[in-house]
Amino acid sequence: MKTVSENACFGGTQGVYSHTSVTCGCEMTFGLFLPEEARDGPVPVLWYLSGLTCTHENAMTKSGAQVWAAEHGIALVFPDTSPRGEDVADDEAYDLGKGAGFYLNATQDPWKPHFNMWDYIATELPALIGENFSVDMTRQGITGHSMGGHGALTLAMNLPEQYRSVSAFAPITNPSASDWGRKQLTAYLGADETTWQRHDATVMMAEKGFDGPVLIDQGTGDQFLDLLKPEALAAAIATRRQPATFRMQPGYDHSYFFVATFMEDHVAFHADALYAL
């Protein structure tokens, strides 16, 4: 693991690190904020998964999450959204290939050699961070925006023993029924739609739900509402009678201005779960 940069930040440290990923078969970069409390012992961890076209850097510099993580004594992990490198497959479209990993393990060529973001987020990167930094991997929460909200919800519902809490900002909620999903799921996983189900938050909510606190914020002015399909997930939550908070925020769009506005709420929400006895 290489240190790319480390900066003092709200009493703690905002670092950027790179490493050779066995899972993705390439060099990967991630951001990690450690609050001041990490100097005295392991702190809980909140994962932030970013959306289409993003890298580790977008939320790290735009979300304002560090000030609230410092207040609550929580580490923040900002992974990349896909594998990178000259030999990594890509597509001309912004919503497939680099920057669009969709947090799954690809089974189809040319994607399967590198696009294993599910295993990277769920297994490889937590192990690396746990071995090298003062964090408590028994206390993890997960959040994300757009494609990252999709990843946060599906990872949490498939791996409930790993995450104590889950939240999302404007998540892609029903990709198997959306143009932001069917294209990518077909490309990465093939035409057998039964393999898509564990990567669809609406399907997983109907089948499994989540045994922990759930918070979702969606802007009513979001220009991608028809692709995100928040009504599908809301209906699944209601049908399952899943304890959850689902908020439609008047006038907010899909931008990081929306994410930054409600970031304080989300970090506090996870802090309550991560510090609960």
> Which residue among 145, 150, 199, 254 is the active-site one?
254
Q: In a 10 Å sphere around its CB, with 0-12 CB exposed, 13-18 middle and 19+ buried, how is residue 270 labelled?
A: buried
Task: Say whether 222 is catalytic.
Answer: yes
Q: Which of 79, 81, 101 is closest to 89 using CA atoms? A: 101
Q: Which of 76, 8, 12, 11 is closest to 44 using CA atoms? A: 76
Report how far Cα 165 is from the mean position of its chain's Cα atoms. Answer: 12
Amino acid letter, 239: T
Tokens at 215, concatenated? 């918070």
Helix (H, G, I), strand (E, B) or coil at 244: coil
Tokens at 102, concatenated? 């969709």
> Which residue among 146, 165, 167, 178 is the active-site one?
146
Which H/E stretch holds residue 33? strand 26-34
Q: What is the largest CA-CA distance in the chain?
A: 50
**β partners of residue 141:** 46, 165
> Which residue among 145, 222, 266, 270 is the active-site one?
222
Task: Say whether 21 is catalytic.
Answer: no
Task: Say whether 19 is catalytic.
Answer: no
Distance CA 259, CA 36 (A): 24
Under DSSP, the state recorded for 177 is G
Residue 265's contacts (CB-CB under 8 Å, 6 or more residues apart) are 215, 217
Residue 178's contacts (CB-CB under 8 Å, 6 or more residues apart) are 172, 227, 228, 229
Amino acid letter, 107: T
Catalytic residues: 146, 222, 254
